[in-house]
Structure 1
Amino acid sequence: MNKYIFKFNEKDEKPKYIQLSEYIISLIENKKIGEGEKLPPIRKYAKELGVNNDTIVAAYKKLVLLGYAYQKMGSGTYCKRRGKTKNFKSDYSRIIKDRLNNKDKKVYIDFVGEGFNNEYFPVEKFKKCINEVIDRDGINALTSYDTTGYSGLRSNISKVFWNGEVKEEDILILSGAQQGIDVIAKVLLNPGDKVVVEKPTYGGALYAFTSRRSSILEIDMESDGGNLVELEKILKGNKIKAMYLMSYFQNPTGVSYSKEKKEKLLELAEKYDFYIIEDDYLSELIYDKKEYITIKKLDVYDRVIYIKSFSKIFAPGIRLGYMILPKGIKDSVESSKISTDVLTSSLMQRTLDNYISKGYWIGYIEELRNHYKDMYYMMINLLEENLSKYIKFHKPNGGLVIYCEILDSRISSRKLFNYCLNKEILITPAVLFYNNYRIGDKYFRLSFSSVKEDEMKKGIICLREAFEELYEELGVY
């Protein structure tokens, strides 16, 4: 028990339980306590240190709150070594899943979810479209398929979303955007090939590229898109196959590329011979009057692989998206997609085609945009009123997330996450989006897609209270 002996500083303004918890954390981080090692029994430890049992209880609760320990009912408190992103990612996924499934019987305010509020999904209209398709096509709605996608849907995508500028035969229907990224990685990348991504970026893309054993190079995000000065330096010293980016309201930062940067990117792609994988994340949700245009629409070099998901903006369960391909890789990508997933749901494709044909899509998007525009401005106002002392944040003028930077370097996003969890609110620490967790620990993401107005107000106040407690612990008032 010698390593646990601790002498309290009576002159320190910090409560004894905080002094003790910080000491045990130092033992954990310096590997003087092993993973899963049982901490001293409360009564015995209190007697050893000359304090009451409540001090030990409070210290252990603090360790659990900060993710450095866990408790077994009737057994005691055990060490859990933290600090690595990989461990936190797995813990985070488990925690979010458990909390959203209500396993601890508490109701959490969800600033994590990226899905849409179910209240706005047009169930009756969609059901009508399904029934009409089954009445019209019969068993063919379930059994007939085209390996590149239902012709009617591809034709509608061309007409409604691209004004006929993209040919139907250049459109490939997908089972969601992630499948598109996976297929492109499979076609373009061999082990050791280099791909550029934004820093931070979407974890699903990182996984697709690393699974191909590719070398990932990163460029920082700026207020108008990726840092192209950094990109050109990389291009001058490396042969890259592709660059993956989100042109609108990038996840997690919410940043959109300026038209100037889009044009410059295309010039660089042509000059240095690489493809741009454009993941059009949420271009439908634009809240200001600024002109937005996809990189694909500016592409005169045939360098852009455009990927779009219907699942994100419409309904996750339909698992539909599409890809527009450059001619140079069109056949290879189509063949790879077929070998990966022979058939994307024929019924869902035909139903979505019918839904778009009836004009329902445009009306739905307009209603959705108006709702989330109101939620966006409410979130901005609440953050400015309650948290300007603690954070600064980017105003994306669209999308569903606000990316926040913690002003005090002593407070990590992982620590904030645990404090918020204790107040029954869920946030996303940005360590999940970085290879280097130390950079990501400065940031966190708030999504307003799944909360209601009263929940948002309550949640932001709770977030402020979490910061107040953290500042008090640091002795900052």
Structure 2
Amino acid sequence: MYKYMELLNELERMIAGSLAEGDKMPSIRTLSERYACSKSTVIRALSELERSHLIYASAKSGYYVLGSAQKEERPSGTIDFVRSAPDPDIFPYLDFQQCLNKAIDTYRNELFIYGTPKGLPSLIKEMQRHLADYQVFAEPERIFITSGVQQALTLLAGMPFPDGRKTVLVEQPSYPLFTDYLEAHRIPAVGIRRDADGIDLDELERIFRGGGIKFFYTIPRFHNPLGCSYTRRQKEAIAELAARYGVYIVEDDYMADLEQDAKSDPLYAYDRAERTVYLKSYSKILFPGLRVGVAVLPSELAEAFGRYKKLLDIDSSMLSQAALELYLKSGMFARHREKIRNRYSRRSELLGEAVRRAKKAYPDAFTGPLPAAGGIHTHLLPRAPAALSSAVEKLRSRCIHAESAKGHYLSGFRAEAMLKLNVSGVRDEEIASGVDAVAEELAKAVHRVLPNSKIKFDRSKQD
């Protein structure tokens, strides 16, 4: 990431944290010395802040804080643990608008005609370089631009595979739109249970050995709704089993950009037999309206995938592709990734602290893991499953939105009573009180179901 973009992130954090509207920014000389950069770098960063309407310049006086960028209006007093879209307060509106305008000027002849099923060639070339940062190495022939991960999953589920297998294996719980698609189109699907500790590798081997599995769909990193990630050993074992039994893996790495551990690689990096399809979305890290994703296909599947994609939509939005290419090339994406990673890392810490306190306050009411470092969601398991729906109703009356994970399961697969907690749309200052309320209502609901339990409601013990 460029030096001025690193400085820009630091200054934005300063404005959001210690400075109030009307406060004077440190001088150019002070910033240059503090961050060990040239005055021209400081001036460029300040100009960007001024363009974003966060500061304003006063002649012969310096720069002053104008206030935060316009924020989306949210219902007053409502805490939403259901929303999974990225935080609208940090959508990169101005940066991406600049890339859209430049894309029109740069690619005006290519953008307003039909494109190619694989995607904009210049974006594919840039994507090859970009994916290498995630330890995903692939030739351009195996890289496809899609209209989000959902389109890639739709194509993979519907197209024939070389071995003729038809059944899709899905973690339970899993991505609800994909499980709904499988059932709506009557595509054979079976589930394998996953919890905070992962999956039963012996059961996975038994299912693979039984034959008939077309591919195994998995979310190895920051699983939604569980909030957990596979360990390196688990990833290696899954890749080895897939190679041994000739099963393809479809890896949905939609939250890769939140990873805090530089040594944590995707499952794709452990695949030595080219059995893994790697999928990545940009909707969760940028904004939902950007329907652009990337799929990296094994050579054996690439030709069929391209053919089926052409039949489905000819091409994905060329304007969005061109803008994303420029956004990646310019370094703006790296800057935004660092900003959202820091924002969600803080929320992850607050969520973990809140869950830890809630467990201490109500030790007999529920269980559940702490969120993975950098992750923005986790889940709680009430001691009495029958208490879940009652707790959700009580929370709604308190203007707290939460829901069970029932919709994340295939029909017929035993769904575990699980309450999802997602803080991507919850303000930092609301996380502790929101989790406290969730824990209290769960505890009360469990007590109603199990009246002889020893659950207490003494708030003084929550600290």
TM-score by length of 1: 0.73
Compute the displacement of 1:315 (Å): 1.1
CA distance in structure 2 between the partners assigned to 1:290 and 1:175 by the alignment = 28
Assess, with a 3 A threshold, how the Cα gap between structure 1 residues 450 and 106 changes in structure 2: closer, same or farther: closer
User: Partner residue of 1:324?
Assistant: 296
Of the three residues 434, 440, 465, the one matched with 2:409 is 434
User: Partner residue of 2:95?
Assistant: 125
Of the three residues 153, 163, 183, the one matched with 2:155 is 183
Paired residues of 1:192 and 1:214 also in contact (CA < 8 A):
no
Of the three residues 457, 462, 469, the one matched with 2:432 is 457
Paired residues of 2:157 and 2:187 also in contact (CA < 8 A):
no
Paired residues of 1:429 and 1:440 also in contact (CA < 8 A):
no
Q: How does 1:101-116 map to 2 (within 5 A)?
A: 108-116=78-86
Is 1:171 the counterpart of 2:143 in the alignment? yes
Paired residues of 1:114 and 1:400 also in contact (CA < 8 A):
no
Q: Is the partner of 1:378 in helix, strand or coil?
A: helix
Q: How does 1:80-159 map to 2 (within 5 A)?
A: 108-159=78-129
Assess, with a 3 A threshold, how the Cα gap between structure 1 residues 437 and 459 changes in structure 2: closer, same or farther: farther
Of the three residues 362, 374, 392, the one matched with 2:367 is 392
Compute the displacement of 1:139 (Å): 4.8
Q: How does 1:120-269 map to 2 (within 5 A)?
A: 120-162=90-132, 165-188=137-160, 193-269=166-242
Is 1:278 the counterpart of 2:244 in the alignment? no
Moved more, 352-361 or 157-166: 157-166
Is 1:448 the counterpart of 2:418 in the alignment? no
RMSD (CA atoms): 2.6
CA distance in structure 2 between the partners assigned to 1:306 and 1:274 by the alignment = 14
CA distance in structure 2 between the partners assigned to 1:298 and 1:236 by the alignment = 20
Paired residues of 1:154 and 1:171 also in contact (CA < 8 A):
yes
TM-score by length of 2: 0.75
Structure 1: which 5+ runs fail to align?
1-99
User: Partner residue of 1:52?
Assistant: none
Of the three residues 370, 393, 400, the one matched with 1:425 is 400
User: Partner residue of 2:12?
Assistant: none
**Runs of at least 4 residues off by over 4 Å:** 189-192, 436-439
Compute the displacement of 1:230 (Å): 0.5
Compute the displacement of 1:470 (Å): 2.2
Aligned-partner residue type, residue 457 of structure 1: A
Compute the displacement of 1:167 (Å): 1.4
- Can you list the C-alpha shifts for 1:327-379, whole angstroms capped at 9, x where unaligned? 11111111111111112111110001001100111111111111111111111
User: Partner residue of 1:382?
Assistant: 354
Is 1:303 the counterpart of 2:275 in the alignment? yes
Q: How does 1:23-38 map to 2 (within 5 A)?
A: none
CA distance in structure 1 between the partners assigned to 2:412 and 2:209 by the alignment = 28
Compute the displacement of 1:437 (Å): 8.0
User: Partner residue of 1:17?
Assistant: none
CA distance in structure 2 between the partners assigned to 1:216 and 1:380 by the alignment = 34
Q: How does 1:310-389 map to 2 (within 5 A)?
A: 310-388=282-360, 389=362
Is 1:404 the counterpart of 2:376 in the alignment? no
Higher gyration radius (CA)? 1
Identity of aligned residues (%): 25
Compute the displacement of 1:471 (Å): 4.7
CA distance in structure 1 between the partners assigned to 2:73 and 2:340 by the alignment = 26
Moved more, 357-366 or 219-228: 219-228
Paired residues of 1:181 and 1:208 also in contact (CA < 8 A):
no
CA distance in structure 2 between the partners assigned to 1:174 and 1:410 by the alignment = 41
